[in-house]
Amino acid sequence: MPHTYETDGAAIYRQSFATIRAEADLRRFTPDEEPVVVRMIHAAGMVGLEAHIRFTPGMAHIARTALQNGAPVLCDARMVSGGITRARLPVGNAVICTLDDPAVPRLAQSMRNTRSAAALELWRSHLDGAIVAIGNAPTALFHLLNMLEDRNCPRPAAIIGCPVGFVGAAEAKAALMADPPTPALTVEGRLGGSAITVAAVNALASRSE
């Protein structure tokens, strides 16, 4: 017998988001934050993720406004930059990932750091007013925080810092939220990843579900 299943993509989204809103505890999130959290839960397939999601006050509104004003999105990994839905970006915002730049391997050697961290050095000319989306590398988030300790370093509008992993991820995100240099969003602990980070960007880019 053939399997019977939902084939309407729009209906699948509607049912998915309705299920999340019925099952997740979203009470502490503001109206600006709630659709972002719903999409992050959807990307993870994990009701309960909301307990680990943290925003600094006003972050969602600030990030959404920055995107509407043309802010570029700076991504630590191709999985992040590739996942952003360009049609959702309000003004054709640039999506930038410098990880594959030919200068990065030698720069990483000279810095004695990972390529993910070294790639951020190539963000400097784009960083002012940008949306940062880090979903893969804790070393990238740590290096960004070190960069922003310099008062002369341009400031992004907001940071989505959700790297995943067992080494440094929880610590990098805790450092971000302990003394946020800009408005920030994170998922505490080891949880995170490119799909969750992309979901946050897409939700901030457009309220459409």
Q: Tens of pLDDT along the chain (209 residues)?
A: 889 988 888 899 899 999 999 999 999 999 999 999 999 999 999 999 999 999 999 999 999 999 999 999 999 999 999 999 999 999 999 999 999 999 999 999 999 999 999 999 999 999 999 999 999 999 999 999 999 999 899 999 999 999 999 999 999 999 999 999 999 999 999 999 999 999 999 999 998 87
| Cα gap 23→33, rounded to integer Å | 17
Q: Using alpha carbons only, what angle is made at residue 182 by residues 190 and 43, rounded to the nearest 5 degrees?
A: 40
Cβ atoms of 156 and 182 within 8 Å: the answer is yes
Strand 53-55 and strand 131-134: the pairing is unpaired
Q: Using alpha carbons only, what angle is made at residue 160 by residues 197 and 90, rounded to the nearest 5 degrees?
A: 80
- Residue 165: closest CA among 187, 131, 136: 136
In this structure, CATH architecture of domain 52-205? 3-Layer(aba) Sandwich (3.40)
Per-residue pLDDT, 209: 78
Which distant-in-sequence residues (6+ apart) come within 8 Å of 144 by Cβ?
Answer: 120, 132, 134, 159, 161
Q: Which of 3, 42, 61, 143 is labelled catalytic?
A: 42
Note the helical H segments in the chain.
Answer: 9-23, 34-44, 59-68, 78-83, 104-111, 115-119, 138-148, 169-178, 194-205
Per-residue pLDDT, 39: 97
| Cα gap 65→62, rounded to integer Å | 5
**pTM, whole model, 2 decimals?**
0.95
42 is catalytic: yes
- Residue 128: closest CA among 90, 202, 182, 82: 182
